[in-house]
Structures are given as C-alpha cells and as structure tokens.
A = this chain, B = another copy of it.
Amino acid sequence: MTQPLDIAVVGATGSVGETLVQILEELAFPVATLHLLASMESAGSSVMFAGKTIKVREVDSFDFAQVKLAFFAASPAVSRSFANKAQQAGCTVIDLSGGLDDALAVVPEANADSIANLKLPARLASPGSAAVALAVALAPLKGLLDIERVQVMASLAVSAQGREAVNELARQTAELLNARPLEPRFFDRQVAFNLLAQVGAVDEQGHAGLERRLVSELRELLGQPELKISVTCIQVPVFFGDSFSVAVQSRKPVDLVAVNAALESADSVELVERDDYPTPVGDAVGQDVVYVGRVRHGVDDDQQLNLWLTTDNLRKGAALNAVQVAQLLIKHRL
C-alpha cells in the first residue's frame, strides 16, 4: 500500500481542476490531505471530495511546504507565478496549463521511462490534449513506422477554454435558433454553426501558441526532436471532446495489419473498425481512452497512414493524464 500524500490542486474551481479532483476520487488516488487553491476571486467556495467538503483557499497565501505534489490547473500565468515557489518548498509540480516551458512533458503511454532518473522535486507537464492524443496513438506505432512527418488538424471543443466558452456556445445557439440577433461575448464572433480557423493569437510566422506547443510537446513525447509536425488548430461548435485528423508520412510502406494489431493491443487506445468511426459526443466524452478510427493508407500512397482520433479533452486530454503522471511518480518513488 502506498503512503498517502499531501496534495494541492491549484485552479480547483475551473473545468480542468474540477475534473482532476473527481478523477483523484474515482481512481482512489492515495491522498492524505487535499488542499484546493484558486485565485482570490474563486477562493471561498467549496468542493466535495471523498465525502468531505473542502474549502477553496487563496493560492497567494498557501505554503507549498505542506504538500509533496501540486497540480497546476489554472492559467499559464498562475503556473509561472507559483511553480518556482512550490518547487523551492520541496513540492513536485505537475503543470496542466502549458505555462512552464522547461517542464518535462509526460504521457505515461509514450515516455514513462523519461522519469526514471528524475531529480525530485521536479517540474513536470501534462501536455495539451492534442499532444496527449497523438502520443497515445503514435507511440505504439513507432517501431512499425519510420516517421518522416506528421500532419495534424485539431478540431477543439469549446470546453478547453472554460465554462464561459461552454455557456457562450449554448447562448449563441439558442439565440440563432430563436432568430434573435447574435451578440458574441466570450468569442469575438459567431461560433455556433460556424468554424473558427484560429485559436488564440498568432505569432509573426502565423502560428498560434497552441500549435507551437503541440509541435514541441509531441517531439519531446515521441523522442524525435527533429520530427516535422504541422498543425492547424480550429475551434468547432462542440461542447466536449477534441478530434484530430492525422496523416503520418513514413519513409517506408505502412503495414496496416500490423498497425491495427498494435493499436488493438495498445494501452489507452480504443480502436474502431472500418465502416464505423468514433465521435466526440458518442464515444469519447466521459471515457478514459483515445478513440482511433478511419485507419487507412493515403490515396495511392502506402507510405502514408491516416487516422482519426477523438478524446475527452478534460479527462485523458488533461486531468486524467496529469493524475496518471502522478501515479507513475508514486510507483517510481515520490
């Protein structure tokens, strides 16, 4: 039996933080004391955990020396403000915000061995949902493919942007169905029955931060720092569940029978056979795996592998992966 740990969850009142607390309970994670933290505006509310009510306190005044492990599920700015403080107090940080560039990105199904020689307290990152989904699906195929290039089109659910974004999609949709004038608030334009081709601001080269993040995380997770990865992230009018259209270019012909067999036996993968396909709403949401479907060659191109992935962006794409990283740490020595 593992020794229970004192743990903090920063950003406990957000969508990801809330899911994280739920998953700690579902998986019977060995928690001694759970400290729930948030910014001043959200502190004071209460959250249920394992039959007890826990009050959410301000992160600013928290002494991280009280815990061995802290999940950061608030904004990138919050992670940048408090992660150093936490680590200096002896606490290992698992960041879910994407705010810590120097944190080691971990998806247990892809690079569990990366933590073998880790010095504690450490700074780890649970990558963005796109990198998690792609790493889970591609890691078991690394031995079968000689990957030259990966092309990703990520169709992201609004829930990744928090509850306000979810409410905005519902409100816009209702306004349109009732033929009332549309007033965008959270998004800068109509998202209901529309596609937004850009998520967040773009840099000089035209790439969004999320897109850059996916490229660097996926290279790290697959252990291929030079891998060519191109990605377009779009916002779709879906509440929950991210989906990915993926084309992997290999330097040799792709053996589809072997690929299907490898996916069939891979951890955290649910393979959907030809003639059917997984959807975010019908399959992924609430589940702990990455659904993989539409496995096929390119048209007249047996060196290309096409895949369709869909996963719960708040669970396996975020909170669940972070908890699985923590489980891996415990197994190894935390």
Residues of chain A having any CB pair with chain B under 8 Å: 151, 153, 155, 169-170, 173-174, 177, 189-190, 193-198, 201-202, 205-207, 211-212, 215, 228-232, 234, 236-239, 243, 245, 247, 274-275, 277-282, 293-301, 304, 306, 308, 310
Contact = CB atoms under 8 A, between A and B. Distances in A.
A294 B193 contact: no
Specify how many copies of this chain sit in the oligomer.
Answer: 2
Contacts of A299: 207, 211-212, 215, 228-231
Contacts of A190: 279, 281-282
Contacts of A230: 247, 298-299, 301, 304, 306
B170 A274 contact: no
14 contacts: A189-B282, A194-B238, A194-B280, A195-B280, A197-B277, A198-B294, A202-B275, A202-B294, A206-B294, A206-B296, A206-B297, A206-B306, A207-B296, A230-B247
A190 B239 CA distance: 13
Contacts of A308: 197, 232
Contacts of A301: 228, 230
B228 A279 contact: no
Where chain A touches its partner, the secondary structure class is mixed
Contacts of A169: 193
A195 B228 contact: no
A238 B201 CA distance: 24
A143 B237 CA distance: 37
A269 to B, nearest CB: 16
Contact of A177 (B155, B173, B243): B173
A305 B203 CA distance: 16
